[in-house]
Amino acid sequence: MVVVQDPSVVSRARSELTLQQAQDEVDQWIKTIGVRYFDEMTNLAQLVEEVGEVARILSRTCGEQSYKKGQAPGDLADELADVLFVTICLANQSGINLTDAFHQNLNKKTGRDAVRHQENPKLQSESHSEALSGDTENDEST
């Protein structure tokens, strides 16, 4: 496999990048190197695959799963970038402006969850396991 290093891409990647620039950059990449977009169902499968790769890494680094002997640890940043790339592909081919969608989504969450998380006792503890053990003790439904 030949990796082409375009210096303009590298310098742009190290500076700030707007969502619109990311959408434009992915679109340009798809139409040149990628030939065309995969159809939406294929990209959905790709998205699920990439999310699975993120899950695999996190289950072994933050979760209780272990690595098999000789298994490479994986690169969480690279896998999250894969998730972002496919998400952008789906947005581009669906005519979605991710900047607008992100702001609308954050406004929705802010309105919906204005006090929800502040009133969540599970979030009052610094430790996730403390919160879980405290939750179990107080959970009368089980």
Residue with Cβ nearer Mg ion (85 or 92):
85
**Sole binder of Mg ion in the list 22, 82, 90, 91 (CB under 5 A):** 82
Stretch that binds Mg ion, among 1-9, 65-73, 75-83, 106-114 (CB under 5 A): 75-83
Shortest Å, Cβ 124 to Mg ion: 36
Find tokens 């939406």 and name the residue.
Answer: 40
Retrieve residue 99's tokens.
């900047």
25 binds Mg ion, rule: CB under 5 A: no
86 binds Mg ion, rule: CB under 5 A: no
Shortest Å, Cβ 87 to Mg ion: 13
76 binds Mg ion, rule: CB under 5 A: no
Find tokens 């590298």 and name the residue.
Answer: 10
Residue with Cβ nearer Mg ion (74 or 134):
74
| Chain residue at closest Cβ approach to Mg ion | 82
Residue with Cβ nearer Mg ion (26 or 50):
50
DSSP string, the chain: -PPP--HHHHHHHHS---HHHHHHHHHHHHHHTS-SPPPHHHHHHHHHHHHHHHHHHHHHHTSS--PPTT-----HHHHHHHHHHHHHHHHHHTT--HHHHHHHHHHHHHHHTTTTTTT-GGGSSS-HHHHHHHHHHH-TT-
Contact of 47 with 85, CB cutoff 8 Å:
no
53 binds Mg ion, rule: CB under 5 A: yes
Residue with Cβ nearer Mg ion (79 or 88):
79
Q: Under the rule (CB under 5 A), what is the footprint of Mg ion?
A: 50, 53, 79, 82
